[in-house]
């Protein structure tokens, strides 16, 4: 199973740039307000310096009181600016997060069926929930904190240099260590974080599978084993986190020295400057206060930066869900639209893996309006042929065309109007029965009426069931709603198809979850509803074949026999044997 | 490294668990880690707290032009830097350990709960809800644990600074000692609306997240038939509700952030102003004034740390509640108070509601149509019987059989069973020891060809729900898995609904042979099964 790709770091950068560009005004406002708040705050050590100089040189109580009053004013202004910045920043974050998660779902909904199948629900789920939630945490908290911290560090450094250039030289002392430690760390962090996120995703996928298969596990006493499997994955996730924790240990060891070192250097420098008369005591006090004020934001900046890296890793997983057209899909053939409804299969070969071919040269023509049944032993390649006929997979060699256009090259929405594949896989969405059925686009562009939906339910023999539901079409179903037995879920899937009304339909064991009698009744009523449509029915139940116009018998990836039910019976070949066995 | 006590000790505690108590119990499973985090965090906070004094003495030395003093205090500052560095790294290491412990234990408890009451949890909540609990709620609990160390450290730092201030000037020390807690208390009421609003937003987010999970789970269907726009609209609406609920949060955060600057700042102003007046009197020297300023600036740190910690802890509490909601779901069926053991050997089955009697040791094929699945559920004790009706297994009412014994001896394979990801052989090997070999079961289910076609055979790892196999192939593997349990009673619901007649005929013959002498019930309408049945029943005539 190949998982979904990760977006590259470049994609993440591009995302950041376009996000900021798309909300230039809001972002500018946030940035401006944070700068304003920090700049106002920088006046505080200057006021301290003025007090110290005043005391050193002798001043009045009135001056001290005045300075204290200014202190209060500065403080209130800073608080006001900081508060406003936080409000704006949160609103900005909420907008960005909403955009990102909506774009994720929109992109997921545009994934090709092929990608959606190979990706696995667990991986997608973990991206849709855990990674999006990690992103929430990081953008809501890391972005404002990091902005405040970086702005404070930069502006404070500028203020120090302006106040006392000589003393500010002390700032340079820890720079080499700071740079070296961070380079070492940043080079190792992305892999460690991605590894940890990936293994948490595996834990979640296991939990999801356990919840979905809860009944199976209980019936077969597999509960303990599911628990052990999940615990083993959890163990791996924790092990990865511990690797990450060790990395941090080394990094932090070298980091904190850097904060206090400049103060140690500043004291003798200050003594020298004061002795030579280059700097007053007030200036020295101001600069020391600045240096002290820089420690917390510098530390915050580095810690939040790391939080941001976790977010970037999560973002790579979120942005990785992107409908990238496969190379074959962008060929100019795509431009050609089908002329007619006849399906022609010529020399089709197909394999899921190299050297493991499932279909070995299939030739078949299905005229419009024909009911074709495909039968054959389990594993003969029937479902694979169905997927090719519906254009979900592309043949390794040969062609599957509808009205002369290669099906798998058609754009998804065009293809869906031509041919639909219905398998025995079903999912009941958390929503009302109406939500569950009204998936296909209504031809007139509006909503499906109750009458249309009820007719579709009647066509699949589920109208009585629907009528018996507590709130009829508005009964909530799915996880947490009214329970839907598997057979009913399958009937719902068929009702959707009836609403969609494509001219060609591939039914892959679409009634297999129903008992034989109900299945036969359902197929009879479907035949009436779908009269005139091309229907390709893959089935092991032979009554389906008996009512079809033609039957294709697939054995070991080849068409062994093709003809009407009666023709094949008289031929006495594999089909006749199958019928003989079944009765 | 697993917990010293089993998860049961937490979930089956007699007192109903509150979120706080839950976190507390988890925390106290690692007393040494808690103690280590507390001690190293304190040692990490001390240098920062002592720094104002060092700065003050340094400036005093400069003022007095004492080079000995200058060098001494410079060296002390450097020494504090090294100490802070070491303790910061170690305390972070231990605090992360605490976070990992909280996250791991919670996940373990949820996993154990799913093993104990998986079906009940699925019915009581939603799949998306469980996934949310094991993702974001796990993170929130972890975050709550991470801040603990810093809370302890900064609290100690605050006390150290306050004591040092008291030593220099009782008045100023008193202002700090009273003022800073007052500032924290002043900020606290601002937190209540923020917490309420944050909880509301998280509810909105959980809804959007569950919707996203549902969309992704049914993605293949949406991509197959349409409805993407409809679902995208629903998701957008949910997502915008999350965004809207962020608006009042932004206001709360703004007020809180302003208060975080203003309230401790006012304490600083009072200290500096008073200190400057004292310095003017000559009661205080300039160095001490600078130390007072530095100390009061440091005092902001405990305030912000406490407010942040309150935020993280309340987030952890909300999540603990949500985890407990999942953990508190009781299993659908619990053991009877006085279990009656089942008789040894093949077992008979009686369902009074439908009048079905299954003789021990025989292969019974029942053509029940739609009534088959509910009947199988009743016989295997998955569904309740109607009032006044009963199911007897080996003559014992099914309600009176211990659950573990019932599941071991009566196995019901449903056609909607899923194939779990993992190594093929592991899943085919039954949970309870049986005399049946995996290969015999695989042969009977006519699944040899599937196994042989896999590159690693039985040791092949299949992905999520075995989706790389066809429906018929999965069904045969499911059947092999059920056969391998070699249970005394095996109920098979439509076991061959997705395979062709040749295969079905082979399977029916082989299963009849394999299960000879044991009770087997097959719900099927196929004549291929009836041919091999010892007894065939039809419930249709009665309907």
pLDDT tens per residue across span B297-315: 777 777 778 777 877 888 8
The pTM score is 0.76
Nearest by CB to A133, which of B136, B261, B415?
B136
DSSP designation for A305: H
Q: Are residues B278 and B355 in the same domain?
A: no
- Would you state the pLDDT for residue B500? 79
Convert A333-349 into a string of H (helix), E (strand) and C (coil): HHHCCCCCCCEEEEEEE
Q: Are residues B99 and B43 in the same domain?
A: yes
Q: What is the 3-state secondary structure (H, E, C) of A342-409?
A: CEEEEEEEEEEECCEEEEEEEEEEECCCCEEEEECCCCCCHHHHHHHHCCCCCCCEEEEEECCEEHHH
User: For residue A409, what are the CA distances in angstroms to A325, A362, B220?
Assistant: 11, 19, 19
Domain ranges, residue B360: 349-538
pLDDT score for A327: 41
| Chain segment A513-565, per-residue pLDDT in tens | 777 777 787 888 888 888 888 999 888 777 778 888 899 998 888 888 888 88
pLDDT at A49 over 60: yes
CATH node for A1-164+279-328: 1.20.1560.10
CA distance B469 to B443: 18
Q: Looking at the structure, do residues B384 and B286 belong to the same domain, yes or no?
A: no
Partners of B118 on chain A (C-beta within 8 Å) are 210-211, 214-215, 217-218, 223, 226
- Indicate whether B542 pLDDT > 70: no
A144-193 tens-digit pLDDT? 888 888 998 899 899 888 888 888 888 888 888 888 988 888 888 888 88
Please judge whether A517 and B525 are an interchain contact, meaning their C-beta atoms are less than 8 angstroms apart: yes
- What integer best gives the mean pLDDT of chain B? 84
Are A263 and B470 in contact (CB < 8 Å)? no
For testing contact with chain B, the best of A50, A260, A425, A494 (most B CBs within 10 A): A260
In order of A559, B481, B486, the CA distances from B425 in angstroms are: 33, 10, 16
| Structural domain contains residue B362 | yes
In whole angstroms, give the CA distance from residue B160 to residue B163.
5
Inter-chain CB proximity B93 and A421 less than 8 Å: no
* Residue B344 within any structural domain of the chain: no
Give the separation between CA B60 and CA B285, rounded to whole angstroms.
8
**pLDDT score of B543 more than 80:** no
Find chain A residues with C-beta within 8 A of B240's C-beta: 98
Residues B242 and B209 in one domain: yes
Whether B13 maps to a domain, the answer reads no
Q: What pLDDT shows up at residue B480? A: 93
B506 lies in some domain: yes
Residue B2 has pLDDT above 60, yes or no: no
Q: How confident is the model at residue B12 (pLDDT cuts 50, 70, 90)?
A: low
Check pLDDT > 50 for residue A330: no
| Domain A1-164+279-328 matches domain A362-582 at the CATH topology level | no
Q: Which residues of B touch A267 (CB under 8 A)?
A: 58, 61-62, 70, 73-74, 77
User: Looking at residues A61-68, what average pLDDT do you find?
Assistant: 87
Residue A327 Cα, gap to closest chain B Cα (Å): 20
Q: Is the minimum CB–CB distance between B290 and chain A shorter than 8 Å? A: yes
Q: What are the tens digits of pLDDT across the range B372-420?
A: 888 888 888 888 888 888 888 888 888 888 888 888 889 998 877 888 8
Give the residue on A whose Cα is nearest the Cα of B211.
A430
Helix (H, G, I), strand (E, B) or coil at B350: strand
Q: Which residues of B touch A124 (CB under 8 A)?
A: 216, 219
Q: Is residue A196 scored above 80 in pLDDT?
A: yes
- Under DSSP, is residue A571 helix (H, G, I), strand (E, B) or coil? helix
Considering only CB atoms, which chain B residues are within 8 Å of A136?
Answer: 136, 205
User: C-alpha distances in angstroms, A276 versus A105, A165, A449?
Assistant: 67, 15, 92
Considering only the beta carbons, identify the residue of B269, B369, B465 that sits closest to A68: B269
**Lowest mean pLDDT, pick from A156-160, A418-422, A484-488, B507-511:** A484-488
Q: Quick: pLDDT tens for B54-72.
A: 888 888 888 888 889 889 9
Ordered by start, the domain boundaries in chain A are: 1-164+279-328, 170-277, 362-582
pLDDT band at B236 (very low <50, low <70, confident <90, very high): very high
B293 and A CB contact within 8 Å: yes
Q: How many CB pairs under 8 A join A and B?
A: 548
Q: What residues of B are in contact with residue A83 (Cβ under 8 Å)?
A: 254-255, 257-258, 261
Tens-place pLDDT, residues B202-215: 889 888 888 888 88
User: What would the DSSP string read from start to end of B135-185?
Assistant: IIIHHHHHHHHHHHHHHHHHHHHHHHHHHHHHHH-HHHHHHHHHHHHHHHH
Above pLDDT 90, what percent of chain A?
15
pLDDT band for A286, please (50, 70, 90 cuts).
confident
For B435-467, give the secondary structure using H, E and C: CCCHHHHHHHCCCHHHHHHCCCHHHCEECHHHC
Instruction: Look up the CATH architecture of domain A362-582.
Output: 3-Layer(aba) Sandwich (3.40)
**Mean pLDDT score, B130-145:** 86
Model ipTM value = 0.84
Same domain, B276 and B367: no
At B390, give phi and psi (nearest 5°).
-155, 160
Alpha-carbon distance of B421 to B403, in angstroms, equals 26
Q: What's the whole-number mean pLDDT along residues A24-29?
A: 92
Across the range A323-327, mean pLDDT stands at 57
Nearest to A137 among B134, B139, B408 (CB): B139
CATH number of the domain to which B240 belongs: 1.20.1560.10
Segment holding A325, helix H or strand E: none
Which residue of chain B has the CA closest to A297? Answer: B301
The 3-state DSSP composition of chain A as helix, strand, coil percent (nearest 5) reads: 65, 10, 20
Name the residue with tokens 């309150």: B310
**Is B232 close to A109, i.e. CB distance below 8 A?**
yes
Q: For chain A, give the mean pLDDT.
A: 84
Residue B386 carries which DSSP code? Answer: P
Q: Quick one: pLDDT at residue A233?
A: 92
Residues B436 and B311 in one domain: no
In this predicted model, which residue has the larger pLDDT, A339 or A493? A493
A286 → chain B, closest CA residue? B290
Q: Residue A56 pLDDT > 90, yes or no?
A: no
pLDDT band at residue B6 using 50, 70 and 90 as cut-offs: very low
Instruction: Judge if B374 and B451 occupy the same domain.
Output: yes
How many CA atoms lie within 13 Å of B66's alpha carbon, on the beta-carbon side?
13
Average pLDDT for A15-22: 90
Asked whether residue B526 is domain-assigned, the answer is: yes
Is residue B458 domain-resident? yes
Q: Among partner residues B89, B131, B370, which is closest to A204 by beta-carbon distance?
A: B131
Once rounded to an integer, what is the mean pLDDT over residues B174-182?
Answer: 81
For chain B, percent of residues with pLDDT exceeding 90 = 15
How much is the pLDDT for B161? 81
Residue A332 confidence (pLDDT): 43
**Residue B189 CB-half CA count within 13 A:** 3
Residue A43 vs residues A39, A74, A145, B183, B282: alpha-carbon distances, Å: 7, 7, 21, 22, 26
pLDDT reported for residue B9: 54
Q: How many CA atoms lie within 13 A of A375 on its CB side?
A: 30
Give B389 to chain A, closest Cα distance, Å: 23
In CATH, what number is assigned to the domain containing residue B398? 3.40.50.300
- pLDDT, residue A324, reads 67
Number of structural domains in chain B: 2
φ and ψ of B13, to 5 deg: -65, 150
Question: Are A84 and B254 an interchain contact pair (Cβ–Cβ within 8 Å)?
Answer: yes
- Regarding whether B263 and B292 lie in a shared domain, the answer is yes
Question: Which of chain A's residues have a Cβ under 8 Å away from the Cβ of B485?
Answer: 220-221
Q: Does B237 touch chain A (CB under 8 A)?
A: no
CB atoms A80 and B258 under 8 Å? yes
Average pLDDT over residues B17-40: 87
CB B519 within 8 A of CB B361: yes
Do B444 and B520 fall within a single domain? Answer: yes
Residue B162 falls inside a structural domain: yes
> Are A377 and B73 an interchain contact pair (Cβ–Cβ within 8 Å)?
no
Between CA A567 and CA A569 the distance in angstroms is 5
Residues of B (157-186) whose Cβ lies below 8 Å from A: none
Among B298, B328, B358, identify where a domain stops: B328
How much is the pLDDT for A445? Answer: 77
Instruction: Give the pLDDT of residue B522.
Output: 93
Answer yes or no: is B37 within a domain.
Answer: yes
Most confident of A404-413, A439-448, B7-16, B20-29: B20-29
- From the number of C-beta atoms within 10 Å of its C-beta (0-12, 13-18, 19+), residue B1 rates as exposed
pLDDT number for residue A110: 86
Same domain for B320 and B386, yes or no, is no
Percent of chain B's residues with pLDDT above 70: 96
């Amino acid at each position: 199973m190949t998982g979904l790709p990760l977006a590259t770091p470049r994609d993440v950068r591009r995302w950041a740039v376009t996000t900021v560009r798309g909300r230039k005004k809001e972002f500018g406002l946030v940035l401006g307000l944070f700068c304003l708040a920090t700049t106002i705050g920088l006046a505080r050590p200057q006021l301290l310096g003025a007090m110290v100089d005043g005391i050193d040189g002798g001043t009045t109580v009135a001056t001290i009181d005045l300075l204290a009053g200014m202190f209060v004013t500065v403080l209130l202004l800073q608080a006001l600016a900081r508060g406003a910045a936080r409000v704006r920043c949160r609103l900005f974050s909420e907008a960005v997060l909403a955009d990102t998660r909506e774009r994720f779902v929109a992109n997921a909904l545009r994934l090709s069926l092929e990608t959606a199948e190979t990706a696995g629900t667990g991986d997608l789920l973990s991206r849709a929930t855990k990674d999006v939630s990690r992103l929430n945490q990081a953008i809501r908290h890391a972005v404002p904190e990091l902005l405040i911290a970086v702005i404070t560090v930069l502006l404070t450094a500028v203020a120090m240099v302006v106040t006392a250039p000589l003393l500010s030289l002390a700032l340079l002392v820890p720079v080499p260590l700071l740079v070296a430690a961070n380079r070492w760390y940043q080079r190792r962090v992305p892999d460690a974080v991605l590894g940890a996120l990936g293994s948490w995703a595996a834990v979640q996928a296991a939990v999801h599978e356990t919840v979905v298969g809860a009944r199976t596990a209980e019936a077969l006493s597999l509960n303990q084993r599911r628990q052990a499997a999940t615990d083993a994955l959890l163990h791996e996730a924790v092990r990865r986190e511990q690797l990450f924790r060790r990395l941090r240990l080394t990094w932090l060891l070298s980091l904190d020295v850097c904060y206090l070192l400049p103060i140690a250097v500043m004291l003798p420098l200050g003594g020298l400057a004061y002795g030579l008369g280059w700097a007053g005591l007030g200036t020295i006090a101001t600069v020391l206060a600045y240096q002290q004020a820089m420690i917390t934001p510098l530390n915050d900046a580095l810690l939040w930066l790391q939080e941001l890296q976790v977010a970037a890793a999560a973002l790579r997983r979120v942005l990785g869900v992107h409908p990238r057209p496969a190379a074959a899909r962008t060929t100019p053939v795509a431009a050609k639209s089908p002329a007619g409804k006849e399906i022609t299969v010529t020399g089709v070969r197909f394999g899921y893996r190299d050297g493991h071919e499932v279909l070995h040269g299939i030739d078949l023509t299905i005229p419009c309006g024909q009911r074709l049944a495909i039968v054959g032993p389990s594993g003969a390649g029937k479902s694979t042929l169905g997927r090719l006929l519906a254009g979900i997979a592309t043949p390794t060699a040969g062609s599957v065309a509808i009205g002369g256009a290669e099906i798998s090259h058609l754009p998804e929405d065009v293809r869906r109007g031509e041919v639909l594949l219905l398998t025995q896989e079903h999912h009941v969405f958390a929503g009302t029965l109406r939500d569950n059925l009204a998936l296909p686009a209504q031809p007139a562009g509006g909503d499906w009426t109750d009458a249309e939906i009820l007719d579709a339910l009647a066509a699949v023999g589920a109208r009585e069931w629907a009528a018996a539901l507590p709130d009829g079409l508005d009964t909530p179903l799915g996880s947490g709603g009214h329970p839907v037995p598997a057979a009913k879920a399958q009937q719902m899937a068929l009702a959707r198809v009836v609403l969609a009304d494509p001219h060609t339909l591939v039914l892959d064991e679409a009634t297999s979850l129903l008992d034989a009698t109900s299945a036969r009744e359902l197929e009879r009523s479907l035949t009436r509803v779908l009269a005139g449509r091309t229907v390709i029915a893959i089935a092991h139940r032979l009554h389906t074949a008996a009512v079809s116009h033609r039957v294709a018998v697939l054995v070991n990836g080849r068409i062994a026999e093709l003809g009407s039910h009666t023709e094949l019976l008289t031929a006495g070949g594999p089909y006749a044997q199958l019928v003989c066995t079944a009765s | 490294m697993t917990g010293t006590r089993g998860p049961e000790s937490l979930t089956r505690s007699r007192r109903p668990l509150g979120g706080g108590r839950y976190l507390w119990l988890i925390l106290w499973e690692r007393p040494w880690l808690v103690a280590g985090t507390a001690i190293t965090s304190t040692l990490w906070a001390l240098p920062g707290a002592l720094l104002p004094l060092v700065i003050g003495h340094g400036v005093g030395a400069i003022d007095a032009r004492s080079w000995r003093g200058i060098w001494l205090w410079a060296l002390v500052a450097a020494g504090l830097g090294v100490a802070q560095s070491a303790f910061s790294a170690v305390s972070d290491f231990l605090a992360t350990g605490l976070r990992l412990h909280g996250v791991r234990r919670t996940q373990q408890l949820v996993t154990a709960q799913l093993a104990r009451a998986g079906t009940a949890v699925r019915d009581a909540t939603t799949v998306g809800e469980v996934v949310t609990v094991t993702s974001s709620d796990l993170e929130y609990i972890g975050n709550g644990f991470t801040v603990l160390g810093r809370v302890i450290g900064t609290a100690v730092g605050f006390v150290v600074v306050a004591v040092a201030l008291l030593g220099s000037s009782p008045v100023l020390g008193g202002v700090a000692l009273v003022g800073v807690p007052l500032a924290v208390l002043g900020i606290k009421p601002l937190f209540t609306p923020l917490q309420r609003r944050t909880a509301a937003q998280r509810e909105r987010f959980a809804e959007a997240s569950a919707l996203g999970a549902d969309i992704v789970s049914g993605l293949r269907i949406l991509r197959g038939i349409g409805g993407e726009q409809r679902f995208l609209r629903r998701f957008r609406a949910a997502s915008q509700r999350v965004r809207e609920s962020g608006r009042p949060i932004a206001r709360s955060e703004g007020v809180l952030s302003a208060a975080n600057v203003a309230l401790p700042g006012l304490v600083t102003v009072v200290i500096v102003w008073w200190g400057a007046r004292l310095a003017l009197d000559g009661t205080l020297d300039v160095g001490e004034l600078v130390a007072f300023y530095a100390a009061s600036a440091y005092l902001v740190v405990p305030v912000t740390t406490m407010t942040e910690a309150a935020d993280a802890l309340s987030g952890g509490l909300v999540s603990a509640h949500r985890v407990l909601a999942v953990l508190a779901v009781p299993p659908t069926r619990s053991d009877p108070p006085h279990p009656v053991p089942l008789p040894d050997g093949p077992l008979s089955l009686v369902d009074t509601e439908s009048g079905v009697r299954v003789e021990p040791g025989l292969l019974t094929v029942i053509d029940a149509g739609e009534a088959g699945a509910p009947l199988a559920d009743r016989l295997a004790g998955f569904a309740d019987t109607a009032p006044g009706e009963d199911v007897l297994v080996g003559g014992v009412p099914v309600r009176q059989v211990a659950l573990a014994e019932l599941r071991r001896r009566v196995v019901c394979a449903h056609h909607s069973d899923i194939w779990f990801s993992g190594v093929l052989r592991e899943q085919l090997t039954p949970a309870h020891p049986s005399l049946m070999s995996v290969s015999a079961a695989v042969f009977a289910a006519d699944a040899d060809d599937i196994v042989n076609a896999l590159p690693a055979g039985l040791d092949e790892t299949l992905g999520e729900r075995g989706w790389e196999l066809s429906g018929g192939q999965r069904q045969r593997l499911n059947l092999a898995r059920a056969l391998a349990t070699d249970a005394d009673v095996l109920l098979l619901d439509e076991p061959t609904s997705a395979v062709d007649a040749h295969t079905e005929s082979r399977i029916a013959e082989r299963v009849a042979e394999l299960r000879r002498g044991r009770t087997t019930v097959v719900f099927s309408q196929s004549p291929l099964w009836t041919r091999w049945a010892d007894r065939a029943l039809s419930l249709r005539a009665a309907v």
